[in-house]
Structure 1
Amino acid sequence: MEFPGELQATFVPDEGGFAFWGLAEPVEAVRALGLPEGRAAECALAVPDGDRVGPARVPSRVVELDAALPALRALPEDARLADSLRAWRRAARLLDDDAGDPEFADLAAAMPAAAHAVLDAEQDAIRAPDALLGLLRSSAGLGRALDRAGIHAELRPYQRSGLAWLTGLAGGGVLADEMGLGKTLQAICLLATREDGPHLVVCPTSLLGNWRRELEKFSPRTPVVVHHGPGRELSGELEPSTVVVTGYPVLRTDTAALTGIGWGVLVLDEAQQIKNPTAQATRAAARITARTRIALTGTPVENHLEELWSIVTVTNPGLLGSRARFRERFANPIRQRGSASATNRLRGLLGPHLLRRTKSEVATDLPEKLYATVACTLTGEQARAYTRAVDRAFGDGFGSGIERRGRVLALLTTLKQICNHPVQAGAEDGELTGRSGKLDRATEMLAEIADDGEHALVFTQYREMGELLARHLAGQLGLDTVPFLHGGLPVAQRDRMVERFQHDPDAAPVLLLSLRAAGFGLNLSRANHVLHYDRWWNPAVEEQASDRAHRIGQRRTLTVHTLVTAGTIEDYIARMHESKRALAGVVSGESEVSALAELGDEELHEVLRLDPAGVR
């Protein structure tokens, strides 16, 4: 058999397999090797260009790892192959033989440049052969490990690559993928496939319910313990597969109990919570004993170097030296002089321990829209108002017929408004911060989006809530004003808002919109985030609103964030949307009220009563 000697092979972790390239149309050559033909892709590789080597998007055939490895092992010894293919044939056979580090080190030392031509995260250098072989070794067993763990998710190639990176970490690291790329899912897969637990997840209190639900959804075999609330106690022997989820406030108060356990993996979610090295949470996190320490953050870490030092000092103690030494070697030269040499030295130190992917880098593998459900909690004030509203409505009774429908509608409206903010539901006005879990979470997200230089649309179905948001966000984001486009504005004023948001470089990064007034006909493609602040029963209405940004002219992946207050009527709506059953699958407008009104009081109470797990 004739083998195509010009065909090159490179392992591309973020594509989830091997890229075969070097020919204008590599598919026939791939078939000739006995490989599955894979899929067409343009991979970012370093290739010869005259007298130099430079980055390029190279036409390739990408064959998934599990399919490529057996075919590579089977290539005959006398085949006429490029050196890169010979190297990966050797790597596949070493994996099959369960070879040790010395054999892979020898292969790395002899690996030709074409075999590791895939660009690194900064897109200005190729991956080191030993690092690429390490990722291959971590990736090769992932499929079997995920199957054994019973993971209920189909990971995208870049997520598999991230999981392989997490699996291969020595000591710890920072997963700094951009918001919306699935850091939580990657961490859950790591926890589920590690058998040296128990494991500990620390997150903001508002995310406790989200972590519990995500673990139950994606890894249903994993025992989950939420360590929070009065009477909490970690008693008895925890199973090795158990994941304990707790909040940063509890980490501070229960440090002694938590440091008394030898954890397998420590996950620090929203790691900006430990960006201050003198804070109690940071000191407590540093005292936790764990074999692997992972920080998750979507905040661009290179913009705040001393905050980065604080986080990395928790995940990888000693890596960046003392704080004073870090300032001297890195922070001051980079901040004051823009020192390229200091930047490169820092990259070299962090490279094995920090993984950052952006949507633009993995856009070829992402759908045009990403969907993220953001779980929020009720504050004590909200929980009391919610319970009172439910108890009062059921105490008064709903009547029958049209009267029952009207009273159910009134209760639903009140409960939705309480989830938004107590002030919208008639509570005393004043300071808004700290009174609504949803408002606080939305503010955090929008501040992060603005800090990233990105833009967001925020939809609400209530004009009063839009006005509260406009007032609150202007103060929190340091803006003169946050525009709110709603049905009460003249058409000319709406048009000016749209024009400014789309084209004015000095415009606010956030545009608030009424769901109904702005759900049709507008082009707002400058936004690459959509945030649905409150829920509409019919998912098509939300989809139409999201499409204001998902239009011709949108060059970036759009992330649609839907805020859901856990344990409330919003949780019920979210489940209906996801399952495409009952109300969300069949209703339009207000017919969901009729469906709920037809339920008996006991069934209706089961839907509307507050689940205490959603209260912070």
Structure 2
Amino acid sequence: MASSSSRGGGGGDGDDDNELYLVGFVVANIVGMRYYQGKITGREPVGFVREPLNTYDGNAIAVYNRRNDKVGHIAATVAAVLAPLIDSHLVAAVQGIVPKASSKAPHRLPCQVHLFARRTAFPAVAAAIDAGGLDLIHADHPEFALSESAAVMERTKRKPNRDVDKLFSLVGKGGKSQIEPMEAPGDVVTSELFDHQKEALGWLVHREESNDMPPFWEESKEGGFENVLTNQTVKERPPPLKGGIFADDMGLGKTLTLLSLIGRSKARNGDAKKANGAKRRKVKVAGEAPRPTLVVCPPSVFSAWVTQLEEQLKPGSLKVYLYHGERTKDKKELLKYDLVLSTYTTLGAEFEQEDSPVKEIDWFRVILDEAHVIKNSAAQQTKAVIALNTERRWVVTGTPIQNSSFDLYPLMAFLRFQPFAIKSYWQSLIQRPLEKGDKTGLSRLQNLLAAISLRRTKDMETGSKSMVNLPSKTVMACYIDLSAEEREYYDQMELEGKNKMQEFGDRDSILRNYSTVLYFILRLRQLCNDVALCPLDMKSWLPADSLGDVAKNPELLKKLASLVDDGDDFDCPICLSPPTKTVITSCTHIYCQTCILKILKSSSSRCPICRRSLSKEDLFLAPEVKNPDEDGSGNPESDRPLSSKVQTLLKLLKTSQDKDPLSKSVVFSQFRKMLLLLEKPLKAAGFKILRLDGSMTAKKRLAVIQQFAHVGPDAPTVLLASLKAAGAGVNLTAASTVYLFDPWWNPGVEEQAMDRVHRIGQKKDVKVIRLIVKGSIEERILSLQERKKSLIANAFGKKKGGKDDKEMRIEELRMMMGLQ
């Protein structure tokens, strides 16, 4: 758990300074166990967390068991040696294992602490451990083979029958084909399920009701049970893993399948009441007092769940409570319901509140919808859902991987899938081999997901027919030539950007000036759409000194804030998610508040991008950028000539309307100002339009979606939408044409846009048109998308591994500026 922010590198063995290798291990006592509730009952992997702010010992290293309960601390004498190595990042990752629990000294337990570092750091690590009086058991040490770590066993191969990759290859074989499809409970769900939904319901029920041991566990010949991957032994049979990853493609009707699962539990509980009520009046029976299912989803999906509940269920069949906005604090009140619907935002806000009833309830089942939003393991909302009490845990997402395979780690932590819920084990067994390009890492990930997930895509075939009988979807690119004036502006901006990049030179200098590079990339993308989006006086925007301090330049602070606001897909460089509570550092870098504060709590206290020393005084909350709810008619430049891209869109829309006057289209752009600019020319051309963007309340968004679904001569025909408002979970099947006005970095986000229209309920063939400016950054973004499309294929298919995040980031920046 104690690890650096770098997660290894790419390249061959031994020649990459960023790759992590096992230095060896030291034996340390876990002490202070009497003060904590966490227990270790046998051989068990453990995680470590540095506690530099511990009031008793600044070198403190806390120990957590496989259930993420705090057990104690590493003995102070050992922590005094290891803490400086961890804080300085000489030791980049630490993982531990307790060989066996001891009854002789119940408050003190020996633990093997395995240290990982870059090869160049080996001499310094070894010297520090020797100077601290500790014995480093390395590969040439006679006791090295006594290690209980899976990473060491893999390297020494001391037990041929315990080959780690062979163990992975045996996981999850032959299970799904034997599971019978299942009908929806007719007394709860009104809709008939498609065949693929019946198959999914059968799989979900099987996962919940099977008593199979979790993957990698087997009965020990000596008695008890053993995890063959970690060598952990326990006396009692480990409980089954009741849940998994439901990763069907977007638009295949996962919500209805989940409602059928919830409804089936309600129906069975009702049957149990009738069967047992007469005989066991005084004894509490399973099913007599059913606990509710908690569904957690993003705010944008909340209204979609409400709509599904209204349309797909028999009135009164499920008691539903919306735990959002004004809500009860009474635990007993929530226990009266079959289904409680809430949002990640709500649970994150309540995580540190003592009176939150959500934290106190032992839920029957917890479902995380659009679960990829918890890919930042440091975020409050991620911590909140991982801490929930329930046996049945479901992760639901059509895009389980968006940026890297590390996105899967928080999902494993939520599922409590051991040992992968412990970060150090995920890194050593899956993440590092993957990043190194090692094929074993990929095969392990594929086998692991095969054991706990269900993934079907729209184009999959079952027997001789396709998965679901949807109309066809055609994706095409419409290439656009800029006018002479637009091309002059564009080329000028691109030349300035290239000159800046070359002026910065090496990798570290580019990272120090990250915000400046992002500025050029953003402006180039805006110039492809419309000159009106981009302030053309570039030099007045850029700081005179590229290392300008925002503390001394409030105007620069405002402009950096507008940079984030202008681009819907801007990501925090630490968690690779859109920033929440955006913070701008004095060195002009942009992060989530929680991400950068976590970095500052470590002893290094440096900006992760430029390595400049930072304190809390160097952090500035981004000034709020006001977004008036206006239309393009109020824009002072609204009488200027239409941009080439807008003219092309109008021609395409007119052609479509001429063929079918009642046909509807959705135009997606990530720039809210672009949606506003489109309103006037579209209205002038006779189109009836609606707008859906992130500045609207959930209630207003739902009203717009319902209005867009109306059919008739006076009904709206074009919806101008941002993915912040019309992303996951929104149903726009009233339309049959999608225009992607500007390309996104992440192809998964574009897929979400398309699948708002191409999903169950669509009756017409769907046409998706990407508007791409020739000879521009937009063509390069398409190339970048092709790389990123391999991410999900990596997990569920057979593709190559990847590179270190930071190296990829630099390569992508150069590529975007046309320097590669």
TM-score interval, smaller chain: 0.3 to 0.5
Taking structure 2 as the reference length, the TM-score comes to 0.33
Computing the radius of gyration from Cα coordinates, the structure with the larger value is: 2
Q: Which has the higher contact order (CA 8 A, sep 6+)?
A: 2
Taking structure 1 as the reference length, the TM-score comes to 0.42
